[in-house]
């Protein structure tokens, strides 16, 4: 569920004043992650790498309160839960979008990931959670990428993470991830905190 809130009564009051009418309010930062543990867990448990990474993203985002507040139009809204949006191809090869509700329980998140994906692929329809604070993701795994700067449409202001194919080294596996966010929603310090939490979630996954 989402609720409209008064920006002046939040910690984002100044940010709302400064950047709500900015023609380009999005900020993109890039960090290279050590995903060695994620690959190991994926192989050991037979779980998809991108599903595990999506869960880690949700876990990290759940520790940064700003992810639950999002500007839309000329208003600011507060949400009561998170969902991870993923992009894939349906059975006809067309792009399809699905929102997976974040849950601290990895197995439950994995079950939702599988069932929602199957339903969307078969129905060729997007499955979206209009009441959730969405964290968008996109995996472009056809090649290794150093950075992705996503388009800004002015319609979708939600934070967005994207990545390419991970890179294998002698003793570790790394993955550059681009993180785009609306400056009204958060500042660089919040983004840095989120990225540190994401690396911790990846390393601590069991």
Please give the structure tokens belonging to residue 23: 């023609």
What radius of gyration, in Å, describes the C-alpha atoms of the chain? Answer: 17
CA geometry: angle 103, 104, 106, nearest 5 deg: 85
Range 62-88 average pLDDT: 95
Whether 56 shows a pLDDT value over 90: the answer reads yes
pTM above 0.85, yes or no: yes
Show me where the domains of the chain are located.
24-204
In terms of pLDDT, which residue wins out, 59 or 117?
59
pLDDT digits (tens, 9 = 90+) for 112-167: 999 998 888 889 889 899 999 999 999 999 999 999 888 887 778 999 999 999 99
- Locus of tokens 């997007």: 126
Where does 56-125 show beta strands of DSSP type E? 69-72, 75-79, 82-89, 95-101
pLDDT for the residue 73? 87
Per-residue confidence (pLDDT) for residue 91, from 0 to 100? 85
Residues in the chain, total: 206
Residue 193 scores a pLDDT above 90? yes
Q: Are 164 and 148 in contact (CB under 8 A)?
A: yes
Q: What is the dihedral angle through the alpha carbons of 18, 19, 24, 28, rounded to the nearest 10 degrees?
A: 110
Does the domain at residues 24-204 carry the CATH identifier 3.90.1150.10? no
- Please determine, for residue 55, whether its predicted confidence score (pLDDT) is greater than 90: yes
The answer to whether residue 1 scores a pLDDT higher than 90 is no
The mean pLDDT of the chain is: 94
pLDDT grade, residue 62 (50/70/90)?
very high
- CA-closest candidate to residue 39, choices 48, 30, 31: 48
Pairing of strands 167-168, 82-89: unpaired
pLDDT at 152: 80
CA atoms of 129 and 86, how far apart (whole Å): 12
């Amino acid at each position: 569920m989402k609720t409209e809130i008064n920006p002046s009564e939040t910690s984002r009051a100044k940010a709302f004043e400064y950047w709500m009418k900015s023609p380009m309010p999005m900020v993109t930062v890039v960090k290279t992650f050590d995903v060695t543990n994620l690959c190991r867990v994926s192989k050991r448990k037979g779980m998809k790498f991108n599903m595990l990474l999506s869960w880690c993203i949700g876990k990290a985002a759940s520790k940064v309160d700003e992810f639950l507040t999002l500007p839309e139009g000329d208003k600011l809204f507060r949400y009561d839960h998170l969902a991870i949006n993923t992009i894939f191809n349906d059975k006809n090869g067309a792009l399809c979008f699905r929102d997976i509700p974040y849950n601290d329980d990895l197995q439950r998140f994995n079950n939702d990931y599988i069932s929602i994906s199957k339903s969307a692929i078969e129905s060729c329809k997007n499955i979206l959670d209009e009441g959730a604070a969405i964290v968008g993701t996109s995996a472009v795994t056809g090649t290794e990428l150093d950075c992705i700067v996503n388009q800004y449409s002015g319609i979708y202001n939600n934070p967005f993470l994207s990545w390419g194919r991970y890179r294998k080294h002698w003793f570790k596996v790394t993955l550059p991830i681009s993180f785009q966010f609306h400056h009204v929603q958060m500042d660089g310090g919040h983004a840095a905190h989120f990225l540190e939490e994401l690396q911790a979630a990846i390393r601590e996954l069991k």
